[in-house]
Amino acid sequence: MKCDLSLRKRREIARAVLEGLHGFQYYWPERNEVYNALDALAQAKEAKLVMLSGQAGAGISSILEAFASKYHGQVILVTPRVYSERLNMIGQVLHAIFPFSEFRNHNRVPDSLIAFRKGGRKIIIFDDLDIITNQNNMHEVAFDQLNQLVGFPGYFTVIMSTRCKKLMRDYFAIKRTATTLIPVSGLVPASCTQDVINSFFERCNQQYRTNIHPSCMAGLGAPEADMPIDRIVFECESVYCAELLNLIPRASEEERKADGKRCLSIAQERVSQIRHTVECCVFI
């Protein structure tokens, strides 16, 4: 680790890492397939409804953020937000373009959105559709409005994600609009986990100019199966920050010899302890 970083600076870095601002993304074959499918959508000329479906922690929000960032000029990203007034789905799209402005509600796609569509903004992303519709009590009419956005004259491609079973059922019942389902698996094969850890530490070291070695993860657990990406990243974040703040007790020479071989994953309980200690040091 770089010695010249003050405690204040190290705490700032740890805070950013714990808040997920490191921006780390890992690409393994299954994940690349998702990105390729989204890339194909960005290039496609026809409008359609696209649903990303996967378990909690599969990284759907991260995928959508990365996609929105890559196609910045083409994408309107609608995320859950608290509004002073009830806004329908179309209204929320306009608000996503100008987040600090207020506009009246629209029952049909307004000309302004169509004009912005001509300007290149042709993809609308609704991340966590269930929360967005819940906030505005729009469950019943959500897909009607989304269909309007996909149809004439807007011709937007709408990408959304949800784990709400009712919305999924409604989505599968859509007949008059072209739909695509992209399954997202969050499981990283056991053979790739070490690569995830190395990549994470490399990314953070590069971004925050630190020098923390991934070997600090060794000796804290034993991974033998495929693991969800969010769990690996959670462990990496916790251990990286703990090492940055010198919060992991050094193992004795005997303990190290007793471990025998290097291990990758950490016992869940131990991770929680480390995370708790780090958060206490950083946020309190």
Interacting residue ranges for another protein, rule: CB under 8 A:
94, 97-103, 106, 110-112, 115-116, 119-120
Q: How far is the CB of 229 from another protein (least distance, A)?
A: 27
**For residues 154 and 219, which CB has a smaller minimum distance to another protein in the complex?**
154
Kindly give, in sequence order, each residue whose CB lies less than 8 Å from that of residue 266, ignoring residues fewer than 6 positions away.
Answer: 217, 220, 221, 235, 239, 274
Q: How far is the CB of 113 from another protein (least distance, A)?
A: 9
**Beta pairing partners, 52:** 161, 182
**For residues 44 and 115, which CB has a smaller minimum distance to another protein in the complex?**
115
Q: How far is the CB of 241 from another protein (least distance, A)?
A: 22
Q: How far is the CB of 73 from another protein (least distance, A)?
A: 8
**For residues 32 and 105, which CB has a smaller minimum distance to another protein in the complex?**
105
**For residues 74 and 198, which CB has a smaller minimum distance to another protein in the complex?**
74
Cβ-contact 99, 92 below 8 angstroms: no
